[in-house]
Structure 1
C-alpha cells in the first residue's frame, strides 16, 4: 500500500524550489511576511536599562543608615486603571496578530497555488475567512478550557486531598489525549479544511463537513500524514534554530565592529558615556531586528513554504476532488522527467 504522506515529500520539495528559485526579493519578502504570522513568530523589543551615576571613580560612596521609621509604612498606591488599560492594549494587539495569522493561512494557500504574491489583494479577499478561522480557534480553546478547568475546580472544592491526588494522576492521560486531539483538529483545519474552504467557497463548518467523509474513509492515510507531519515539525524547528543561530553569528561580526568603534569614539575619546550606552542600545536593538528579519526571510519562509506545499500535495493525493495543486503537480512532474 502506497502512503501519500511518504510519496509526496519530494514533489512538495520540487514545488517549493520552483516557487523560490530563481531568487526574487519581492517574492521572498512576501513569503517572509506570511511565514511570520503562520509560524507564530514574534519579536520583542529588548529593553536596555542603564543608569549613569555622578560618583567619582576614585571614591567609594558611603552608605548612610536610614532614618528611623515613625508610624505605619506608606504603601504606594496602585492605579488599577492603568493596569487594566495596559492589559487591554496587550490583549488587543494579541487579537490583531491572531487575526492576521488566521487571514494569512488563506493567503498562503493562494500564494503557493497561484504563485502570485499579491498580499494586499489576497488579504482583502480573505478577511471574512480569517475571521471565521479565528472564531473557530477561539471556540476550540474555550471549549477545551471549560472541559478541563470546570471539573478541576469542582474536584478541588468537593474531594479530599488524597482522592484529588489520585484523580490528578488519572487525569494526566486525559490531558495528553486532549492535547493530541487539539493538535490534530488544528493541524487538519489549517492543512486540509482551509484549502477546502477556498476551493468550494464554504464556511469552516461546511468545509469540515465536506472533508469529514474523506477523513473517515482514508483515516489510515491521514493518520500517517499526522505522524510524518509531526516529525517534519520537529525537524523544521531544529533546522530553524540552527539557521537563526548561524545568521546571528554572521551578523554579530559587523554589528560588533560597529559597536566597538562607537564605544571607543564616544566613551574613550570624548568621554560621553551616556551617549555611548545609548548608541550600544540602538545597535543591539538593530542587531536583534536584523537577525529576526533575516531569519524569517531566509529560514522560516522556505520551511513554511515546503510544509504548506506538502500538506496540499498530500490532500490532493489522498482526496483528488480537493486537489488544489493539480496543475503544479503535472508541471513539477514534467520538469523532473525532463531533468
Structure 2
C-alpha cells in the first residue's frame, strides 16, 4: 500500500509556496480570498414570531368560545377576533419568508458549487481568472448543486425512515411512552445521525476528488464520481490513510488559524481602539456628542471591515494548502487523472522530451 496522503503533504507545501509567494501578488491573494469566501458563503437564516394566542391580553379581549355558542363581542371587534382565530396574513408572511430564505440558500449554494470548479482551475493553472472561469463552469456548478441536493434529500429520507418506528407511538400515547424505550430511541436516533454525518463527509470527500476529473477529462460530475468510486473500491486503504491525514491536518490548521486570526484581530483591535480614542478626544471639543458619534461610527465600521478582510487574507495560504493536498493526492492515487499542474513540464508529443518550464 502506498502512502499517497502523506507524500502529498510535501508536494502541497511546495505548490502553495510557488503559487502564493514566488512571487507575492496582492491582487491574486485578494481574488483567491473572494473565491474562498464564496465557497463558504451560504448563510444561516432564522425567524421567530412573538405571536402568542394564549396570552392574557387575548384571553381578556376574546373569551374562550364554548361549542355551539357565539361570543358576546363589542361592535367592531369581530374582524380583530377572526384575525386571531384565522391568522392568514401571518401565515402568508411566514410562507413568503421561508420561500425567500430557501431561494437565497439555493442561490448561495449554486455560487458555492461554481466556485468549487473555479478554485480548482485557479490553483491548477496558477492563474486566477475569476469571471472567465465562473462563466465557463456555470453548467458544471449547477449539476454539482443538483447532485448535492439529491444526496442531502436522500440522507434526510434515511433519517426519517430510521425515526419512523417511534413516531406513531409518541403521537398516539405520549404519556404511556416508557422511559427506557424513549431513551433507547434517543440513542438510536443519535447513532443514526452520527452514521449519516460520517457518510455525508465521505461522499463529499469523494465528490471533491471527482471535481478535477470532471474538468480535465471533460466528464459530467456523476460520471467522474463513478470513476472515483470505482477506484475507491479497488484501493480503499489509500483513501482511508488520506482521510486520516486530512483529519490530522484539519485539526492542526484549525489550531493555527485560531491562534493566527485571534492574534491578528487582537493586534488590529488594539491599534484601532487607540486610534478611535485619539479621534474622540480630538473632536470632542469641536462638535457635540451626537455629531461626534456620527463621525466615529463610519470609522468603526471601516475598521471592522479591515479586520475581517485581513482575516480572510490570512486564510488564503491555509485553504490553498488543503486544496493542493487534495489535488496532489488525486494526482498520485488516480494515475489517469492527467491533471495539468502549472509546475509539471509539458512533454513534446513526438519525442516525450520535457519542454522547459514556462516562466510564470
| 1:161-180 equivalence runs, <5 A | 161-162=178-179, 163-180=181-198
Instruction: Tell me the distance in 1 between the aligned counterparts of 2:336 and 2:162.
Output: 42
- Structure 1 window deviating more from structure 2 (247-256 vs 7-16): it is 247-256
Structure 2 counterpart of 1:287, from 283, 303, 307 = 303
Other-structure match for 2:280: 263
Other-structure match for 1:157: 168
- Structure 2: 5+ residue runs without aligned partners? 46-59, 63-79, 171-176, 347-360
Other-structure match for 2:102: 91
Distance 1:327-1:23 versus aligned 2 partners, 3 A rule: closer
For the pair 1:215 / 2:232, whether they are aligned, the reply is yes
Instruction: Tell me the distance in 1 between the aligned counterparts of 2:94 and 2:260.
Output: 38
Q: Residue deviations 1:177-201, cap 9 Å, x none?
A: 21111011112212x1101111221
Q: Residue deviations 1:116-166, cap 9 Å, x none?
A: 111100000000111111111122111111211344255132253432321
For the pair 1:131 / 2:146, whether they are aligned, the reply is no
- Structure showing greater Rg: 2
Q: How many residues are paired up?
A: 303
Instruction: Tell me the distance in 1 between the aligned counterparts of 2:169 and 2:93.
Output: 38
Other-structure match for 2:12: 12
Structure 1 counterpart of 2:321, from 306, 317, 334 = 306
Other-structure match for 2:252: 235
Contact persistence 2:3–2:238 (CA under 8 A): yes
Instruction: Tell me the distance in 1 between the aligned counterparts of 2:317 and 2:108.
Output: 21
> Secondary structure of the equivalent of 2:24?
coil
Contact persistence 2:110–2:141 (CA under 8 A): yes
Q: Residue deviations 1:78-105, cap 9 Å, x none?
A: 8535544444444333322221111111
Contact persistence 1:37–1:100 (CA under 8 A): yes
- Structure 1 window deviating more from structure 2 (118-127 vs 130-139): it is 130-139
Displacement of 1:310 after TM fit?
Answer: 0.6
For the pair 1:247 / 2:267, whether they are aligned, the reply is no
Instruction: Tell me the distance in 2 between the aligned counterparts of 1:309 and 1:168.
Output: 41
Instruction: Tell me the distance in 1 between the aligned counterparts of 2:182 and 2:3.
Output: 45
Distance 1:199-1:24 versus aligned 2 partners, 3 A rule: same
Instruction: Tell me the distance in 1 between the aligned counterparts of 2:43 and 2:260.
Output: 16
Other-structure match for 1:225: 242
Displacement of 1:294 after TM fit?
Answer: 1.2
Structure 2 counterpart of 1:143, from 147, 154, 157 = 154
Contact persistence 1:313–1:325 (CA under 8 A): no
- With normalisation by structure 1, the TM-score equals 0.80
Contact persistence 1:37–1:101 (CA under 8 A): yes
Q: Which has more helix, going by share of residues?
A: 1
Q: Residue deviations 1:295-331, cap 9 Å, x none?
A: 111x221111111111111011111101415563569
Contact persistence 2:125–2:341 (CA under 8 A): no
- With normalisation by structure 2, the TM-score equals 0.75
Instruction: Tell me the distance in 2 between the aligned counterparts of 1:112 and 1:101.
Output: 16
Structure 1 counterpart of 2:128, from 114, 117, 123 = 117
Instruction: Tell me the distance in 1 between the aligned counterparts of 2:102 and 2:286.
Output: 45
Displacement of 1:167 after TM fit?
Answer: 2.2
| 1:70-109 equivalence runs, <5 A | 72=61, 80=90, 81-109=92-120
- Structure 1 window deviating more from structure 2 (72-81 vs 14-23): it is 72-81
Distance 1:330-1:2 versus aligned 2 partners, 3 A rule: farther
Instruction: Tell me the distance in 1 between the aligned counterparts of 2:255 and 2:232.
Output: 30
Other-structure match for 1:31: 32
> Secondary structure of the equivalent of 2:293?
helix
Contact persistence 1:8–1:314 (CA under 8 A): yes
Backbone CA RMSD of aligned residues: 2.9
